[in-house]
Structure 1
């Protein structure tokens, strides 16, 4: 499997899970709702793009994977199965790869490279509070 496909599926993953958590299994046919969080709408757009390009069997498999995530959003195996469906679709459809790359790029969801080096260094894309060092005391 190409690195590009794996990277696209990993980038899309959080958006897919948010969309399914927000919309449930109806994510594949739901129209965009301006009041819904941008992340869920992005995931919905990705899932719909994949769904519309699949044949009957591919759609049924994707629908089953989406339903499994909708039934239990905390199930890591269900989320992995959904990502696998996306990877399969990307492997089989070069045009879909370009479409998803465009969707993710337009949303500013490009690849993020974070590098940490040195003793006790940390790396994070987003972080609230990070504390390193010995004998740290936090006071409100």
Structure 2
């Protein structure tokens, strides 16, 4: 499986879970609701896009997997089955992969920071950092 599919599924997971928890199998027929939670709405759009690209058997399999999650949202195996259905669809359809990648927000950048040495600090952003003995800070 391509790294691109794996990364997409990691990003999409929370959206898919929210959509299934909110809508159950109605996720496939539910229209956009302006008041819907943004996370659930994105998950719903992802599931609908996958559903529309599948044949009759693929749709039935996806619906069954979604129903299992709707019946027991805490079942990690059921959630994994939904993700597996989506991965299968993405492996079979490069256009769908591109479409879903555009739906998801850009992956956040990774920052690696190393602090080395006595009293060293590491931070991506920082206000005030004091390392030392008997330091005094006075407001300006």
What interval of TM-score do these two structures reach, taking the shorter chain for normalisation? Answer: 0.7 to 0.9
How many pairs does the alignment contain? 119
Show structure 2 runs of 5+ residues with no match. Answer: 116-121, 123-140
The aligned counterpart of 2:10 is 10
1:110 corresponds to which of 92, 106, 110: 106
Does 1:84 pair with 2:84? yes
TM-score by length of 1: 0.78
- CA–CA separation in structure 2 for the residues paired with 1:79 and 1:63: 12
Q: Which has the higher contact order (CA 8 A, sep 6+)?
A: 1
What secondary structure is seen at the aligned counterpart in 2 of 1:112? Answer: coil
> Which residue in the other structure is 2:64 paired with?
64
Q: Secondary structure at the match of 1:88?
A: helix
Is the Cα–Cα contact under 8 Å of residues 11 and 110 in structure 1 kept in the other structure?
Answer: no
Question: Counterparts in 2 of 1:1-140, with a 5 A limit?
Answer: 1-104=1-104, 109-115=105-111
TM-score (norm 2): 0.78
Deviation, 1:29, is 1.0
Give the CA RMSD over aligned residues: 1.9
Distance 2:68 2:60 in 1: 12
Larger Rg: 2
4+ residue segments displaced more than 3 Å: 113-119
CA distance in 2, matches of 1:118, 1:77: 37
